[in-house]
Structure 1
Protein backbone atom coordinates (compact mmCIF):
# COMPACT_ATOMS: atom_id res chain seq x y z
CA UNK A 1 0.00 0.00 0.00
CA UNK A 2 1.32 3.47 -0.94
CA UNK A 3 1.55 5.97 1.88
CA UNK A 4 -0.63 9.07 1.49
CA UNK A 5 1.30 12.20 0.46
CA UNK A 6 -0.27 15.54 1.33
CA UNK A 7 0.89 19.15 1.37
CA UNK A 8 0.24 21.67 4.14
CA UNK A 9 1.68 25.00 5.19
CA UNK A 10 5.03 25.16 7.01
CA UNK A 11 3.71 27.08 10.07
CA UNK A 12 1.61 24.03 10.93
CA UNK A 13 4.75 21.96 11.50
CA UNK A 14 6.41 21.84 14.90
CA UNK A 15 9.55 24.04 14.59
CA UNK A 16 11.66 21.35 16.27
CA UNK A 17 10.77 18.97 13.39
CA UNK A 18 12.07 21.46 10.85
CA UNK A 19 15.15 22.17 12.96
CA UNK A 20 16.04 18.48 13.19
CA UNK A 21 15.46 18.05 9.45
CA UNK A 22 17.52 21.03 8.32
CA UNK A 23 20.34 20.30 10.81
CA UNK A 24 20.96 16.84 9.38
CA UNK A 25 24.37 16.86 7.63
CA UNK A 26 23.03 14.48 4.96
CA UNK A 27 20.59 17.23 3.91
CA UNK A 28 23.39 19.81 3.73
CA UNK A 29 25.33 17.55 1.32
CA UNK A 30 22.67 18.31 -1.31
CA UNK A 31 22.30 22.01 -0.54
CA UNK A 32 25.40 24.13 -1.26
CA UNK A 33 23.67 27.25 0.08
CA UNK A 34 22.96 25.60 3.44
CA UNK A 35 26.07 26.78 5.25
CA UNK A 36 24.80 28.37 8.47
CA UNK A 37 23.98 26.43 11.61
CA UNK A 38 20.26 26.03 12.17
CA UNK A 39 18.65 27.03 15.45
CA UNK A 40 15.18 28.09 16.57
CA UNK A 41 15.70 31.60 15.17
CA UNK A 42 16.77 30.19 11.79
CA UNK A 43 13.64 28.03 11.64
CA UNK A 44 11.45 31.05 12.44
CA UNK A 45 13.16 33.12 9.76
CA UNK A 46 12.91 30.29 7.21
CA UNK A 47 9.17 29.79 7.81
CA UNK A 48 8.57 33.56 7.68
CA UNK A 49 10.43 33.87 4.35
CA UNK A 50 8.51 30.97 2.83
CA UNK A 51 5.18 32.36 4.10
CA UNK A 52 6.06 35.78 2.65
CA UNK A 53 6.18 34.12 -0.78
CA UNK A 54 2.59 32.98 -0.29
CA UNK A 55 1.58 36.54 0.63
CA UNK A 56 3.50 38.12 -2.24
CA UNK A 57 2.92 35.58 -5.03
CA UNK A 58 -0.05 33.49 -3.91
CA UNK A 59 2.14 30.41 -4.01
CA UNK A 60 5.15 29.11 -2.12
CA UNK A 61 6.53 26.09 -0.33
CA UNK A 62 4.54 23.44 1.45
CA UNK A 63 5.41 21.07 4.24
CA UNK A 64 5.13 17.49 2.97
CA UNK A 65 3.30 14.93 5.03
CA UNK A 66 3.51 11.19 4.48
CA UNK A 67 0.67 9.50 6.34
CA UNK A 68 0.40 12.70 8.42
CA UNK A 69 4.11 12.70 9.38
CA UNK A 70 6.41 15.55 8.33
CA UNK A 71 8.96 14.32 5.79
CA UNK A 72 10.25 17.57 4.26
CA UNK A 73 9.22 20.57 2.23
CA UNK A 74 8.75 21.44 -1.41
CA UNK A 75 7.09 23.95 -3.65
CA UNK A 76 7.47 26.86 -5.99
CA UNK A 77 9.22 30.14 -5.39
CA UNK A 78 9.13 33.01 -7.84
CA UNK A 79 12.63 34.13 -8.82
CA UNK A 80 12.17 37.11 -11.13
CA UNK A 81 9.86 35.87 -13.89
CA UNK A 82 10.56 32.21 -13.20
CA UNK A 83 8.93 29.71 -10.85
CA UNK A 84 11.67 27.61 -9.28
CA UNK A 85 10.77 24.24 -7.78
CA UNK A 86 12.56 23.07 -4.67
CA UNK A 87 12.37 19.81 -2.74
CA UNK A 88 14.16 19.04 0.53
CA UNK A 89 13.39 15.73 2.21
CA UNK A 90 14.52 14.08 5.40
CA UNK A 91 17.18 11.54 4.34
CA UNK A 92 15.08 8.54 5.32
CA UNK A 93 12.46 9.72 2.80
CA UNK A 94 14.73 10.49 -0.18
CA UNK A 95 13.06 7.60 -2.02
CA UNK A 96 9.75 9.52 -2.10
CA UNK A 97 11.24 12.39 -4.12
CA UNK A 98 9.91 11.36 -7.53
CA UNK A 99 6.43 10.64 -6.21
CA UNK A 100 6.26 13.96 -4.33
CA UNK A 101 7.66 15.89 -7.28
CA UNK A 102 5.16 14.27 -9.62
CA UNK A 103 2.34 15.56 -7.40
CA UNK A 104 3.83 19.08 -7.23
CA UNK A 105 4.53 19.22 -10.98
CA UNK A 106 0.94 18.14 -11.65
CA UNK A 107 -0.09 21.19 -9.62
CA UNK A 108 2.16 23.40 -11.78
CA UNK A 109 0.61 22.09 -14.99
CA UNK A 110 -2.84 22.99 -13.64
CA UNK A 111 -1.87 26.50 -12.51
CA UNK A 112 -2.06 29.10 -15.30
CA UNK A 113 0.40 31.37 -13.48
CA UNK A 114 3.19 28.87 -14.12
CA UNK A 115 4.16 28.68 -17.83
CA UNK A 116 7.32 26.78 -16.93
CA UNK A 117 9.21 25.51 -13.89
CA UNK A 118 12.94 25.75 -13.29
CA UNK A 119 15.06 23.38 -11.23
CA UNK A 120 18.47 24.25 -9.79
CA UNK A 121 20.59 21.29 -8.77
CA UNK A 122 24.14 21.17 -7.42
CA UNK A 123 26.63 19.76 -9.95
CA UNK A 124 27.39 16.82 -7.66
CA UNK A 125 23.94 15.40 -8.42
CA UNK A 126 24.61 12.64 -10.93
CA UNK A 127 21.17 11.00 -11.03
CA UNK A 128 19.13 13.38 -13.18
CA UNK A 129 16.93 10.79 -14.89
CA UNK A 130 13.79 11.89 -13.05
CA UNK A 131 14.07 15.38 -14.52
CA UNK A 132 14.31 14.08 -18.06
CA UNK A 133 11.37 11.73 -17.40
CA UNK A 134 9.35 14.80 -16.42
CA UNK A 135 10.40 16.40 -19.71
CA UNK A 136 12.78 19.00 -18.28
CA UNK A 137 15.61 20.17 -20.51
CA UNK A 138 19.07 21.22 -19.41
CA UNK A 139 19.53 24.98 -19.77
CA UNK A 140 23.11 25.27 -18.55
CA UNK A 141 25.21 26.03 -15.52
CA UNK A 142 24.41 29.17 -13.55
CA UNK A 143 25.93 30.97 -10.60
CA UNK A 144 23.56 31.71 -7.68
CA UNK A 145 24.69 33.23 -4.37
CA UNK A 146 28.27 32.18 -5.05
CA UNK A 147 27.50 28.55 -5.91
CA UNK A 148 27.24 26.80 -9.26
CA UNK A 149 24.03 24.97 -10.16
CA UNK A 150 22.75 22.94 -13.08
CA UNK A 151 19.61 24.62 -14.37
CA UNK A 152 16.74 22.71 -15.96
CA UNK A 153 13.45 23.96 -17.37
CA UNK A 154 10.11 22.21 -17.75
CA UNK A 155 7.40 23.78 -19.94
CA UNK A 156 4.01 23.52 -18.24
CA UNK A 157 1.80 25.64 -20.54
Structure 2
Protein backbone atom coordinates (compact mmCIF):
# COMPACT_ATOMS: atom_id res chain seq x y z
CA UNK A 1 0.00 0.00 0.00
CA UNK A 2 1.40 3.36 -1.06
CA UNK A 3 0.45 6.54 0.82
CA UNK A 4 0.81 9.83 -1.07
CA UNK A 5 -0.03 13.47 -0.46
CA UNK A 6 -1.67 15.51 -3.23
CA UNK A 7 -3.22 18.94 -3.40
CA UNK A 8 -6.94 19.14 -2.64
CA UNK A 9 -7.45 20.98 -5.95
CA UNK A 10 -6.58 17.69 -7.69
CA UNK A 11 -9.48 15.81 -6.08
CA UNK A 12 -12.97 15.96 -7.59
CA UNK A 13 -15.16 18.11 -5.29
CA UNK A 14 -17.81 15.37 -5.44
CA UNK A 15 -15.51 13.03 -3.50
CA UNK A 16 -14.86 15.59 -0.79
CA UNK A 17 -18.56 16.49 -0.57
CA UNK A 18 -19.50 12.82 -0.15
CA UNK A 19 -16.76 12.36 2.48
CA UNK A 20 -17.82 15.36 4.54
CA UNK A 21 -21.53 14.48 4.23
CA UNK A 22 -21.04 11.05 5.81
CA UNK A 23 -22.94 11.17 9.14
CA UNK A 24 -20.03 9.43 10.90
CA UNK A 25 -17.89 12.52 10.29
CA UNK A 26 -20.12 14.85 12.32
CA UNK A 27 -19.72 12.75 15.50
CA UNK A 28 -16.28 14.18 16.24
CA UNK A 29 -16.32 17.38 14.20
CA UNK A 30 -18.27 20.04 16.11
CA UNK A 31 -17.65 22.61 13.38
CA UNK A 32 -19.18 20.36 10.72
CA UNK A 33 -22.80 21.36 10.31
CA UNK A 34 -25.03 19.87 7.65
CA UNK A 35 -24.38 17.99 4.46
CA UNK A 36 -21.92 19.26 1.91
CA UNK A 37 -22.66 19.72 -1.76
CA UNK A 38 -20.26 20.31 -4.64
CA UNK A 39 -20.42 24.09 -4.15
CA UNK A 40 -19.48 23.73 -0.46
CA UNK A 41 -16.61 21.40 -1.33
CA UNK A 42 -15.39 23.78 -4.03
CA UNK A 43 -15.38 26.68 -1.56
CA UNK A 44 -13.54 24.51 0.97
CA UNK A 45 -10.89 23.59 -1.60
CA UNK A 46 -10.45 27.26 -2.53
CA UNK A 47 -10.04 28.24 1.13
CA UNK A 48 -7.44 25.53 1.72
CA UNK A 49 -5.57 26.52 -1.45
CA UNK A 50 -5.48 30.11 -0.16
CA UNK A 51 -3.46 28.93 2.84
CA UNK A 52 -0.87 27.49 0.46
CA UNK A 53 -0.57 30.90 -1.21
CA UNK A 54 -0.50 32.77 2.10
CA UNK A 55 1.78 30.46 4.15
CA UNK A 56 3.52 28.22 1.61
CA UNK A 57 1.91 25.17 3.20
CA UNK A 58 -1.58 23.89 3.82
CA UNK A 59 -3.82 20.87 3.71
CA UNK A 60 -3.30 17.93 1.39
CA UNK A 61 -5.51 15.21 0.04
CA UNK A 62 -4.32 11.83 1.30
CA UNK A 63 -4.19 8.99 -1.20
CA UNK A 64 -3.78 5.27 -0.67
CA UNK A 65 -2.74 3.45 -3.82
CA UNK A 66 -4.03 6.47 -5.73
CA UNK A 67 -7.48 6.53 -4.09
CA UNK A 68 -8.69 9.49 -2.03
CA UNK A 69 -8.88 8.49 1.66
CA UNK A 70 -9.13 11.89 3.35
CA UNK A 71 -7.55 15.26 3.86
CA UNK A 72 -5.47 17.13 6.38
CA UNK A 73 -2.10 18.64 6.99
CA UNK A 74 -0.76 21.83 8.45
CA UNK A 75 -2.55 25.14 8.75
CA UNK A 76 -1.09 28.22 10.37
CA UNK A 77 -3.17 29.40 13.34
CA UNK A 78 -1.54 32.60 14.53
CA UNK A 79 2.10 31.65 15.10
CA UNK A 80 1.37 27.93 15.43
CA UNK A 81 1.11 25.19 12.84
CA UNK A 82 -1.96 23.11 13.61
CA UNK A 83 -2.15 19.57 12.24
CA UNK A 84 -5.46 18.09 11.18
CA UNK A 85 -6.34 14.64 9.88
CA UNK A 86 -9.82 13.92 8.51
CA UNK A 87 -10.14 10.43 7.03
CA UNK A 88 -13.09 8.71 5.41
CA UNK A 89 -14.61 6.29 7.95
CA UNK A 90 -13.57 3.22 5.96
CA UNK A 91 -9.97 4.52 6.07
CA UNK A 92 -9.67 5.35 9.78
CA UNK A 93 -7.08 2.58 10.13
CA UNK A 94 -4.61 4.60 8.04
CA UNK A 95 -4.47 7.46 10.53
CA UNK A 96 -1.25 6.52 12.32
CA UNK A 97 0.59 5.84 9.08
CA UNK A 98 -0.50 9.12 7.49
CA UNK A 99 0.15 11.12 10.66
CA UNK A 100 3.67 9.73 10.96
CA UNK A 101 4.45 10.63 7.33
CA UNK A 102 3.08 14.15 7.81
CA UNK A 103 5.01 14.61 11.06
CA UNK A 104 8.19 13.43 9.33
CA UNK A 105 7.54 16.23 6.84
CA UNK A 106 7.15 18.71 9.73
CA UNK A 107 10.37 17.56 11.37
CA UNK A 108 12.24 18.21 8.11
CA UNK A 109 10.73 21.69 7.66
CA UNK A 110 12.54 24.43 9.61
CA UNK A 111 9.37 26.56 9.64
CA UNK A 112 7.68 24.06 11.97
CA UNK A 113 9.41 23.82 15.39
CA UNK A 114 6.26 22.26 16.86
CA UNK A 115 2.74 21.34 15.83
CA UNK A 116 -0.53 21.60 17.68
CA UNK A 117 -3.55 19.32 17.54
CA UNK A 118 -7.12 20.30 18.37
CA UNK A 119 -9.48 17.46 19.21
CA UNK A 120 -13.07 17.67 20.35
CA UNK A 121 -13.71 16.58 23.94
CA UNK A 122 -15.81 13.71 22.54
CA UNK A 123 -12.56 12.01 21.50
CA UNK A 124 -11.81 9.60 24.32
CA UNK A 125 -9.04 7.52 22.75
CA UNK A 126 -5.97 9.76 22.92
CA UNK A 127 -3.31 7.06 23.14
CA UNK A 128 -2.08 7.72 19.60
CA UNK A 129 -1.22 11.31 20.51
CA UNK A 130 0.57 10.16 23.65
CA UNK A 131 2.56 7.59 21.65
CA UNK A 132 3.64 10.37 19.29
CA UNK A 133 4.84 12.39 22.30
CA UNK A 134 2.20 15.12 22.19
CA UNK A 135 1.66 16.97 25.46
CA UNK A 136 -1.80 18.16 26.61
CA UNK A 137 -2.20 21.94 26.93
CA UNK A 138 -5.79 22.02 28.18
CA UNK A 139 -9.06 23.08 26.63
CA UNK A 140 -9.34 25.99 24.21
CA UNK A 141 -12.13 27.69 22.30
CA UNK A 142 -11.88 27.55 18.51
CA UNK A 143 -14.62 29.09 16.37
CA UNK A 144 -17.07 28.85 19.26
CA UNK A 145 -16.44 25.20 20.16
CA UNK A 146 -14.32 23.64 22.88
CA UNK A 147 -11.31 21.56 21.85
CA UNK A 148 -8.58 19.68 23.66
CA UNK A 149 -5.24 21.14 22.62
CA UNK A 150 -1.98 19.20 22.38
CA UNK A 151 1.52 20.18 21.32
CA UNK A 152 4.27 18.09 19.77
CA UNK A 153 7.84 19.36 19.45
CA UNK A 154 9.26 18.62 16.00
CA UNK A 155 12.69 20.25 16.25
Please classify the TM superposition score into its range, dividing by the shorter chain length: over 0.9
> Which residue among 47, 50, 56 is the counterpart of 1:49?
47
The runs of 5 or more residues in structure 2 that have no matched partner are: none
Which residue pairs with 1:30 in the alignment?
28
Q: Distance in 1 between matches of 2:67 and 2:35?
A: 24
The 4+ residue runs of structure 1 with deviation greater than 6 A are: none
Where in structure 2 are the equivalents of 1:1-157 lying within 5 Å? 3-157=1-155
C-alpha distance in 1 between matches for 2:125 and 2:31: 20
d(CA) in 2 for partners of 1:140 and 1:146? 16
Cα deviations by residue, 1:36-88 (Å, 9 ceiling, x for unpaired): 43111111110000000000000000000000000000100000000000000
Q: Distance in 1 between matches of 2:34 and 2:113?
A: 33
CA distance in 2, matches of 1:42, 1:96: 26
State the aligned residue count. 155
Give 1:108 shift. Answer: 0.5
Counterpart Cα distance in 1 of 2:35 and 2:127? 32
Structure 1: how far apart are the matches of 2:125 and 2:35?
Answer: 28
Shift of 1:128: 0.6
Query: When the two structures are superposed, what TM-score results if normalisation uses the length of structure 1?
Result: 0.97
RMSD: 0.7
Distance in 1 (CA, whole Å) between partners of 2:153 and 2:34 is 34
How many angstroms apart in 2 are the aligned matches of 1:92 and 1:68? 15
